[in-house]
Structure 1
Amino acid sequence: MQQGMEYAGLLEVPFVFASNGDGFIFRDLTNPTQLETEIRLEDFPPPQQLWEKYCAWKGYKEEHLPIITQDYYDDGSGKSPRYYQLQAINKTVEAVAAGQNRALLVMATGTGKTYTAFQIIWRLWKAKAKKRILFLADRNILVDQTKTNDFQPFGTAMTKITGRKVDPAFEVHLALYQALTGPEEEQKAYKQVDPNFFDLIIIDECHRGSASEDSAWREILEYFSSAIQVGLTATPKETDEVSNIEYFGAPIYTYSLKEGIEDGFLAPYKVVRVDIDVDVQGWRPTKGQTDKNGEVIEDRIYNQKDFDRTMVIDERTELVAQTITNYLKRTDPMAKTIVFCNDIDHADRMRRALVNLNPEQVKKNDKYVMKITGDDDIGKDQLDNFINPKKKYPVIATTSELMTTGVDAKTCKLVVLDQGIQSMTKFKQIIGRGTRIDDRYGKLWFTILDFKKATELFADERFDGTPERVKVTTPEQFEDEENLDDIIDGVDDVVDAGNPFGDEDIDPDSIQDPEATNGEGSGSSPESTGSADDWDDENRVRKFHVNGVPVKALAERVQYYDSDGKLVTESFKDYTRKTMVKQFSSLDDFTKRWNESDRKQAIIDELAEAGILWEALEDEVGKDMDPFDMICHVVYDQPALTRKERADNVKKRNYFTKYGDTAQQVLNNLLDKYADEGVQEIENIHVLKVKPFDEMGRPLEIIKKGFGGKPQYLEAVHDLEMAIYESA
């Protein structure tokens, strides 16, 4: 019964039936004098009676029922809305039926806001309660995805507004804000129809400006003020200037990121924090030092907030790119990855660094790494391929602002943060790029690789709480948490060059990505109210560019959610122990599995998939050990043996005497390869193509002469591995 009560609470239904196989308990919240009653099977209340009691409990009026009872869209595939989508749809339809003219739905990224919006529109449209509908978005990709995917059942009744022309012949209109309005009167296409033309407006990603009183987009909503307006967002924006809640009212339904992860609808994630020495300790130029362009560098200490905004250190960019590359090589080089950079210039430099570090992958396909930013048409043309699970390339996308919201990248497994993020709204949107699950492609969780301490926002109580209105009314009340964080962290007050206007609402198509902060870049779009050329030299933020600075990673830490939903930070040692306990019950269990495996690489890959970062673990352990020994030492407190020590132990046992001369030479060389590079190297038969084996002949000749054939060679390698891992 208690479990049923929990489910009933989630669905907000007043009835629960529980059975022990013999009798039944009927819990009925509509009967407060007798909440639970024991009944027989033949005493079950008929559906009509339950419906009448339910309508009374919900407060439905007779005139509301034709709208409330309108069926959902059913494509015949058996797909139906998830429980939280049902709640969001029903609550919105009920609110509209009751005459509520503003509504706000808060649903975490990846939980199906657009599908929810479709079902809301479908039911109201089919019930003839709303006849002309406008779906507003702020990015072209959002509109196109909506039209071709979730909204496809509207067919010929639907159109996308283009060319600043509103065609009244259609019933469902999809539009960009920018297609309906602009700074010039002739650009205000929405005035082509009467203010009462639309009777329902759905505003997607409504946190991105529509609620701001002075926003150009707000004029559309005010012009059609007689229409029911429903805002959709994962992150309501609550500042002194912009309030979704003040405009739309309190959310009629909220489904959080934490709930989505706990329910299994969103991918859980782990966080890897990388601290770089210059970020932590700062960097100061020598007196009179000039940068790569001959500019004298201002003499002060540059810190994390400066890097890639006012100060570029090439070695730092290369270290970040190397860390990303190492992670992908250890896990999955083809895992879709988004790297968030400070501005377009930073995204371009990061793309170049990643290209140079991945020559093998780039040789296979030159689109392995792409810069996808608002100024780059070639990059933007690859956005659909990046989010398409069936397309292998691009694999890595470097970006700044363009991909922070509305990009449905279901198979994204790695989100890299090398961008200073102060806004909780933006942080949630960026994290949402990885939260979608795709079972077909093995996307069940993802990793956040954080170089800028952005994930400290996880600790902020606002991360997964109910948003509250923030009003600054007196100096005494000016206690903004982000300002306090800056004081506590001892961070200089540096203007965010990527967003010099703070939280003002800016047309996202005019400034999709921050340009290079020295004033260079793509320029603004024609719809922008200004351009980089309008800034004089005094107003431009100077960006120095240096190289030759020694840079290194100080530490790496893993963070993950525990069973209580709290983010836990621990060393790689502790994290590895916990991960291994889930995979193997004991040392014997692990050793048995390792020895029985024909390919040790398979186990190494399996553990990497489970979240173990081998290179980071090796750095922390501080010894050049085999993966087997790292696990035995760190997890099971066994003596630490290096690969060289294991190889020497095999030689001491005169292991090779049972083989002929050629086989002994091959196995001796394989053992040396193991000591130098690891077990993965000797399991790859192509090792026979490189030195010193190439001096002995071609691989087939070596195998035939030394072992008689390939099966015998593979058996000898397996036996060698058994000898390597035999107890010393």
Structure 2
Amino acid sequence: MVGIKKTTLTETDIISKFILPAIKIAGWDDMTQIRQEVKLRDGKVVVRGQAAARKKVKSADIVLYHKPGMPLAVIEAKANKHEIGKGMQQGLDYAGLLEVPFIFATNGDGFIFHDKTNPATLETEISLEAFPTPAQLWQRYCNWKGYTEAQLPIITQDYHDDGSGKSPRYYQLQAINKTLEAISLGQNRVLLVMATGTGKTYTAFQIIWRLWKARHKKRILFLADRNILVDQTRINDFQPFGQAMTKITGRTVDPAYEIHLGLYQALTGPEEAQKAYKQVDPDFFDLIIIDECHRGSAAEDSAWREILQYFSSATQVGLTATPKETEDVSNTDYFGDPVYTYSLKQGIEDGFLAPYKVVRVDIDIDLQGWRPTKGQVDKNGELVDDRIYNQKDFDRTMVIDERTELVAQTITSYLKRTDPMAKTIVFCNDIDHADRMRRALVNLNPEQVAKNEKYVMKITGDDEIGKAQLDNFINPKKPYPVIATTSELMSTGVDAKTCKLVVLDQTIQSMTKFKQIIGRGTRIDDRFNKLWFTILDFKKATDRFADKGFDGIPERIMITTPGELNDDDADLDDIINGVDPEGNSPSDGDNAAGNEEGTGDYEPLPDGDYGPWEDDENQVEKFYVNGVAVKAIAERVQYYDTDGKLVTESFRDYTRKTMAPHFASLDEFTKRWNAAERKQAIIDELEGEGILWDVLAQEVGKDLDPFDLICHVVYDQPPLTRKERADNVKKRNYFTKYGETAQAVLTTLLDKYADEGVQEIENIHVLKVKPFDEMGRPIEIVKKGFGDKQAYLDAVSELEAEIYRLDPRSA
């Protein structure tokens, strides 16, 4: 452009004056095909102590789309003072997330074009006028993907747009698009693995919507095993289906509807008359989405599998957070390898899921064991078996009141130290344990219970009053209940977005179950300041974080010889087969949790037929004793580290690791610091990398400014306090070069620095507060002392140079 010196333009100017005009001339429609500042990640949350901060993330400058939801290319722009291809590596990172083959880097002079569809010449330079048209890139994309004409009506079907601006996240786009690609190629068994809290149901909705709208799939069944999952789905994500959707009730499949939401329990049962799915032909459904397919549907001989096998001609998509891979059960054996996986680790790194802090508490009798005295009887007069009881026994076969009290006291103390109103789930071994834990917590929190008796509630399958409070517990706007004691009912299907404390006092041997329980805390809710959560572990359950299978892709290790499920893998199959996971008989009402209002867990079988329950003599015998001295002998705090592992480290260690990629040496850091026009810019940059200045200052010393904190913590230099730095400046008496007013202002600014830090003196608004307000208005102070604003700013910069002029470790 005539008269414009490109090298003086900002990156924003380059985009608006050169890049956008060039791509629009090439035929790109800015309303549907061009999006600017596309934020692909939310920014990882870093936690230390009770403080947390989000890492700042950059946005892709421009993403080009074939149509909404179908990205094709990334454009990364830089100011003209940079080399034309400077943004290429950044663009490649964004393109990797979106899985697009075209990346353009530019400084306004032209483009470096990275074209993955042309491996012979990956990168070429093209002029602004030579930018490819939408048709050209789309054709190359289709050839790269290998799309056929028959696939295109499915591949190009529009996403649902509710007008709210909500659109799928990058990993949801990948999951949806990869699923549609697989189905368009005729693949009839598809598995999606997405961590709890990453929006599996919303992803499923968009898959169904596009297949339904394309008329590729006309009758669709969404299958779940919990009433609350079906009702949440119908009311929330699936609401746009409107009158085309129904929930299967009363064991009747109504062919008048196209979208059916159903519980396994409503479609089948042990008796032939209960098999409602047989009311329709095997080819009735074109598509079946199986939610939480790691549970009942995974086992080959499960009651649920018969439904899938009956509708075997339908395309079946399994959704799971935890692929089930044991010697007996494998859902990848049925569905095949996942077409897409998005793990907990990825979700935390991207900032879409909450990281965790683990507080591991070791109790003496758990580690050392406890043995009764000879002839000791329990509280019921029963002779206690003479053996050594250990951690796995407690609250299963051996109940010690003092241990329950200690766990409850530890929970109470933690909440009182942090936030007494933090939503908390306490996972117990069984309903009896949950009852006793509720009572212990009530007795330890009399003031809170006096405010509201629902402060602590037992929410288990046998308790209708407790189950009725489940919706209030998971509703962020409802303060009560605060603490929920449970055993199995809340381990899955509970979308508790604001749960901040997960307590593990349950023996957990199943990785699947462990992942599901951890998933109760991984959701983020910025509106309610839920960015992270704490796991309070009394049973060494968090040792499973070190298992490479926790966040990895499981190998298929299923064997052909049928075996019995491990007790800890008990799922809803057991309800049909006559084993209650909560350990109750049918008369306890645990299986009657489901209802049409969606307040419960399982739907009961018809006519009260619950199957062959265990006889009383097969129930595990429990001993109840008290008068045992119990104490916590160790408490260890661990944090989620940068590599996804749990580490026991101070914030000093984290800061060192965070700084290493940015400043290789002390000299490099000090040069950058001294060259910065505003020190606040560097402070903000490092804060954006997750350095929590307040936490670091608490560990090291509150009177150190960020410069000295970094010098001391990262580079092992003895620091100077802010007061020592200020005193050194005063000793040099460099103020004499200024007039009386300027000297007074600069001396006061130096005092402000000593008290509050460099950020305070860099803000010109400091002239509005005491004691400057006694000198006059800011404009008057600046004019009288320095002449104009620029001279004032120059004087402040010189003051900062004096503060950091000497070797920071010398007086």
| Fold in common (TM above 0.5) | yes
1:580-620 alpha-carbon deviations (Å, 9 max, x no partner): 964255579954599xxxxxxxxxxxxxxxxxxxxxxxxxx
Aligned 1:504-583 pairs, distance under 5 A: 505-507=573-575, 513-515=581-583, 522=589, 527=605, 530=611, 532=613, 534-537=614-617, 539-570=618-649, 582-583=693-694
Number of aligned residue pairs:
572
1:274-302 alpha-carbon deviations (Å, 9 max, x no partner): 00111011100000000001000000000
**Compared with structure 1, are the counterparts of its residues 571 and 454 closer, same or farther at alpha carbon in structure 2 (3 Å cutoff)?**
farther
Residue 321 of structure 1 deviates from its aligned partner by 0.6
State how far apart, in whole Å, the 1-side matches of 2:647 and 2:369 are.
27
Residue 309 of structure 1 deviates from its aligned partner by 0.2
Instruction: Indicate the SS of the match to 1:448.
Output: strand
Residue 10 of structure 1 deviates from its aligned partner by 2.3
Residue 505 of structure 1 deviates from its aligned partner by 3.9
1:214-244 alpha-carbon deviations (Å, 9 max, x no partner): 1000010001001000000000001122111
The counterpart of 1:64, out of the listed 146, 151, 162, is: 151
**Compared with structure 1, are the counterparts of its residues 509 and 159 closer, same or farther at alpha carbon in structure 2 (3 Å cutoff)?**
farther
1:489-544 alpha-carbon deviations (Å, 9 max, x no partner): xxxxxx98xx3886894238976642269x99557666375455x4242x221110
The counterpart of 1:239, out of the listed 302, 326, 332, is: 326
Which ranges in structure 2 are unaligned for 5 or more consecutive residues? 1-87, 593-603, 658-689, 706-717, 720-811
State how far apart, in whole Å, the 2-side matches of 1:516 and 1:178 are.
19
Instruction: Indicate the SS of the match to 1:350.
Output: helix
Aligned 1:254-265 pairs, distance under 5 A: 254-265=341-352
Instruction: Indicate the SS of the match to 1:398.
Output: strand
State how far apart, in whole Å, the 1-side matches of 2:436 and 2:523 are.
28
The counterpart of 2:225, out of the listed 110, 133, 138, is: 138
**Compared with structure 1, are the counterparts of its residues 502 and 377 closer, same or farther at alpha carbon in structure 2 (3 Å cutoff)?**
closer
State how far apart, in whole Å, the 1-side matches of 2:648 and 2:394 are.
25
Confirm or deny: 8 A CA contact 1:165 1:189 kept in the other structure. Answer: yes
Q: TM-score, normalised by structure 2?
A: 0.67
Which ranges in structure 1 are unaligned for 5 or more consecutive residues? 479-494, 595-635, 638-728
Residue 18 of structure 1 deviates from its aligned partner by 0.9
**Compared with structure 1, are the counterparts of its residues 575 and 365 closer, same or farther at alpha carbon in structure 2 (3 Å cutoff)?**
farther
State how far apart, in whole Å, the 2-side matches of 1:572 and 1:261 are.
19
1:400 corresponds to = 487
Instruction: Indicate the SS of the match to 1:110.
Output: coil
**Compared with structure 1, are the counterparts of its residues 512 and 49 closer, same or farther at alpha carbon in structure 2 (3 Å cutoff)?**
farther
Amino acid at match of 2:648: T
Instruction: Tell me if 1:74 matches 2:154.
Output: no
State how far apart, in whole Å, the 1-side matches of 2:447 and 2:345 are.
39
Confirm or deny: 8 A CA contact 2:357 2:535 kept in the other structure. Answer: yes
State how far apart, in whole Å, the 1-side matches of 2:159 and 2:493 are.
25
2:51 corresponds to = none
Residue 7 of structure 1 deviates from its aligned partner by 2.0
Residue 9 of structure 1 deviates from its aligned partner by 2.0
The counterpart of 1:33, out of the listed 120, 131, 140, is: 120
**Compared with structure 1, are the counterparts of its residues 67 and 512 closer, same or farther at alpha carbon in structure 2 (3 Å cutoff)?**
farther
State how far apart, in whole Å, the 1-side matches of 2:490 and 2:696 are.
42
State how far apart, in whole Å, the 2-side matches of 1:407 and 1:511 are.
22
Confirm or deny: 8 A CA contact 2:322 2:516 kept in the other structure. Answer: yes
Residue 8 of structure 1 deviates from its aligned partner by 1.6
The counterpart of 1:91, out of the listed 163, 173, 178, is: 178
The counterpart of 1:188, out of the listed 268, 275, 291, is: 275
Confirm or deny: 8 A CA contact 1:523 1:531 kept in the other structure. Answer: no
Residue 557 of structure 1 deviates from its aligned partner by 0.3
**Compared with structure 1, are the counterparts of its residues 158 and 509 closer, same or farther at alpha carbon in structure 2 (3 Å cutoff)?**
farther
State how far apart, in whole Å, the 1-side matches of 2:699 and 2:574 are.
61
State how far apart, in whole Å, the 2-side matches of 1:407 and 1:37 are.
51
State how far apart, in whole Å, the 1-side matches of 2:579 and 2:463 are.
13
State how far apart, in whole Å, the 2-side matches of 1:504 and 1:175 are.
15
State how far apart, in whole Å, the 2-side matches of 1:558 and 1:101 are.
47
State how far apart, in whole Å, the 2-side matches of 1:262 and 1:365 are.
38
Q: TM-score, normalised by structure 1?
A: 0.75
Instruction: Indicate the SS of the match to 1:259.
Output: helix
Confirm or deny: 8 A CA contact 2:500 2:533 kept in the other structure. Answer: yes
State how far apart, in whole Å, the 2-side matches of 1:409 and 1:501 are.
22
The counterpart of 2:430, out of the listed 306, 318, 343, is: 343
**Compared with structure 1, are the counterparts of its residues 12 and 201 closer, same or farther at alpha carbon in structure 2 (3 Å cutoff)?**
same
Instruction: Tell me if 1:277 matches 2:357.
Output: no
Instruction: Indicate the SS of the match to 2:138.
Output: helix
Residue 573 of structure 1 deviates from its aligned partner by 11
Instruction: Tell me if 1:46 matches 2:123.
Output: no
**Compared with structure 1, are the counterparts of its residues 363 and 241 closer, same or farther at alpha carbon in structure 2 (3 Å cutoff)?**
same
1:122 corresponds to = 209
1:81-120 alpha-carbon deviations (Å, 9 max, x no partner): 0000000000011111111000000000000000000000
1:108 corresponds to = 195
